[in-house]
Amino acid sequence: MSRAARPFARTASSIDERRLRNGVLYGVLLSILLGGLVLAVPGLHDVSQTIRHARPGWVALAAGLELASCVGYVLAFQGTFERLPRRFAAMVAASEQAFGAVVPLGGAGGIAAGGWLLARRGIPVARIAERSAVLFLLTSATNVVALLIAAGGLAADWFTGPHDLLRAGVPATVALGVLLVFLVLAWWAIATSGHRGPRVRWRPLRALGDATVATLRLVRRPGWRVALGAPAYLLCDVAVLWLCLHALGCSLPAAPLLVAYLLGYLANAVPIPGGVGVLDGGLAAALVAYHVPAATAAGGVLIYHALALWIPTASGTLAFLAVVRDRVPARTQPSAEIAQRRRCAESPRVGRAATVSGVLELSTDSET
């Protein structure tokens, strides 16, 4: 990093640290406020009583699965940004989860923080944008496919749960429609790839189509990290919610639980720090719609949200601070490569061609 860029990097670092700190503080305050309301409001007495009777063993198992969900995202990130060193990629992925959990930008805060961490280590901005879009589309496609399978199975009477149009047919139709839209975008991007650049107003759509094509290529040959990480990121988190409900004595079948989870998470688009109150209300309402008692739904969601908010936030904050303070190298050079370049620099008999070759290799490495 040049000397001129260092003050800007320090300023951006301090801004991101401040945003993360403020998000954590707001999340703590809102969590305390929400907990106080549950304990103090007479109408919510049943919820507090339900939480007090939760079985701690199931809650502890849920905490372990929340960690597994975080690991799933790390694996998906490593498989998408395949050129990054594994440890550095893991730290950036964990940082994204922390920002995504507490910074009130509807999930965009995590992507922005990860992009900044990658850019400050010399990764080209165009590649960051392209691979970040692929990762976002990959995780989103996993959600949509899961919704299509669960809701479609309910509508076709393959799974246990409600089979009516509103709770099964409509979610399945919406999921199928979203998949078709992105497949059409991918087809359009491939069909127009050899044409002259699109007009300005079509460029965002073209960029989305190109990212969809890249995502389909990744899905076609995912590698074990993507193949394992993307489903684990979703399914382990759904299992956390199931365990929290089970700890309160409620066992909801898998298909309606998955549909309620994905529909309830739409509330998280509202930019509230940590989704406190908003996500809880959305998930609880969705669970009640699928025949979970109201007190059990609210209590299970509160336990779930505490785990889903603070476990990624704690681990991701530590990872972010480690990356910002340069404790995790962005790239490492093999010792043989370093020794070769030292010989090129020290030996007077090395010709200009070898020196130019070394410089070109170095510039190529920095671009990747």
Q: Are residues 43 and 161 in the same domain?
A: yes
Residue 326 has what pLDDT?
A: 67
Q: Are residues 315 and 342 in the same domain?
A: no
> In this structure, which amino acid lies at residue 368?
T
Q: Are residues 242 and 130 in the same domain?
A: yes
Q: Are residues 296 and 349 in the same domain?
A: no
Residue 362 has what pLDDT?
A: 39
**Which residues have a Cβ under 8 Å from the Cβ of 179 and sit 6 or more positions away?**
141, 144, 145, 148
Q: Are residues 266 and 349 in the same domain?
A: no
Residue 106 has what pLDDT?
A: 54
Q: Are residues 360 and 230 in the same domain?
A: no
pLDDT tens-digit readout, 162-177: 888 888 989 999 999 9
pLDDT tens-digit readout, 73-102: 999 999 999 888 899 999 999 988 888 877
**Total domain count, the chain:** 2
CB 191 within 8 A of CB 210: no
Q: Are residues 181 and 74 in the same domain?
A: yes
Average pLDDT, consecutive stretches of 10 residues, N- to C-terminus, the chain (368 residues): 44 52 51 47 61 88 95 94 90 88 67 84 87 90 94 91 88 93 86 65 76 89 91 95 92 92 86 74 91 89 90 87 68 42 45 40 42
- Domain extent, residue 346, equals 336-368
Q: Are residues 132 and 251 in the same domain?
A: yes
Q: Are residues 232 and 361 in the same domain?
A: no
Q: Are residues 312 and 355 in the same domain?
A: no
CB 73 within 8 A of CB 93: yes
Q: Are residues 347 and 237 in the same domain?
A: no
Residue 272's SS3 state is coil
Q: Are residues 68 and 32 in the same domain?
A: yes
> In this structure, which amino acid lies at residue 268?
N
Residue 3 has what pLDDT?
A: 45
pTM flag (> 0.85): no
